[in-house]
Structure 1
């Protein structure tokens, strides 16, 4: 009787960054169900598309390839391995490389208010300026998204401007516009020296 080989575990996606409480690694196909559930949480997506659910087929074809690409990192709690959501630190212009990057985050509502977004954002900003050759970090959200704005501020970014986009569907608060926050390497170096 032939022996059955043990099941092969999928390879662990590469680790990008660790903090005191977080592990950020490449997003992987194995994260599909978790990523889809996060995108279908109306509270999480309230300030993105009004919380409109996305069909699995549409998510797999349109959103998943972007999340599996350069600059998106699955977030796990170091102590438990619990999947928390994702962070983004992505070059705004592929040709310019890491010179100017966009910071973003999307975490499960169950872990909001625990400081994970701030911890991850601060660590990514630090990595951008110390290891990736970044000169400017930028982040955007709706003007009414005070929670996300606080995270940007705690990560060291400052308000740059309010702007108005023509979105296909207006959502509550969109009449107040979107805001851009940013931090340059020079500004960051001044705060690190304090």
Structure 2
């Protein structure tokens, strides 16, 4: 594991979510270099090393101090410590909302890790950070991501269309937005915080 325990946001049964560091450049370049991981984002095009190193990581590192409890978190296998991808509660709006996101290595797809991490972050967003709304978006054709959003407790609120300069296959079906409001959240069961 990179970093000390102060860098860990939370742990689940199988995941440890910690702050990113500049030492994670290669992890992110490798993750974004998988065409299947990037299929619904860039039509499979990788994120260049310079973009990750000079733009993406510095922006993410700045969020930790400006938006305590929010940001993007490296996801590690809790037992082995291997980098699996990331989860996000990106700050949005006036700080009372957070956008849920996740990107995992293809080798761990289908194991329920996206749902496990997303559920933990939704609880964190409401119980620790105190946001009023957690939301997420994806392409309407991204059924896997939509299932994760639903299993994390978010509900479909709209389908909309965006005019992209460089549309990717499936764009014609639109984008979908999901949300969970604090006021609509079922009460937590004892011992599930």
Gaps of 5+ in 2: 64-70
Q: How many residues align?
A: 181
Distance 2:3 2:101 in 1: 26
Displacement of 1:61 in angstroms is 2.2
Structure 1 residue 184 and structure 2 residue 181: aligned? yes
- Tell me the residue number matched to 1:6: none
- Tell me the residue number matched to 2:103: 106
Distance 1:161 1:63 in 2: 29
Gaps of 5+ in 1: 1-8
Q: Describe the superposition over 1:38-60 as per-residue Cα deviations: whole angstroms up to 9, x where unpaired.
A: 11111001000101123212332
* Range 121-130 or range 53-62, more displaced: 53-62
Partner-residue secondary structure (3-state), 1:68:
helix
Structure 1 residue 66 and structure 2 residue 63: aligned? no
Partner-residue secondary structure (3-state), 1:189:
coil
Displacement of 1:10 in angstroms is 7.1
Distance 1:140 1:73 in 2: 18
Displacement of 1:158 in angstroms is 0.5
- Tell me the residue number matched to 2:43: 50
Structure 1 residue 19 and structure 2 residue 12: aligned? yes
Distance 1:180 1:19 in 2: 26
Distance 2:2 2:185 in 1: 39
- Tell me the residue number matched to 2:33: 40
- Tell me the residue number matched to 2:160: 163
Root-mean-square deviation (CA, aligned residues, Å) is 1.7
- TM (normalized to structure 1)? 0.88
Distance 1:137 1:147 in 2: 19
Partner-residue secondary structure (3-state), 2:185:
helix
Q: Describe the superposition over 1:134-165 as per-residue Cα deviations: whole angstroms up to 9, x where unpaired.
A: 11100000000000000000000000001111
Displacement of 1:129 in angstroms is 0.9
Displacement of 1:66 in angstroms is 3.0
Paired residues of 2:22 and 2:53 also in contact (CA < 8 A): no
Paired residues of 2:25 and 2:52 also in contact (CA < 8 A): no
Distance 1:25 1:170 in 2: 33
Alpha carbons of structure 1 residues 140 and 10: separation in structure 2 relative to 1, 3 Å: closer
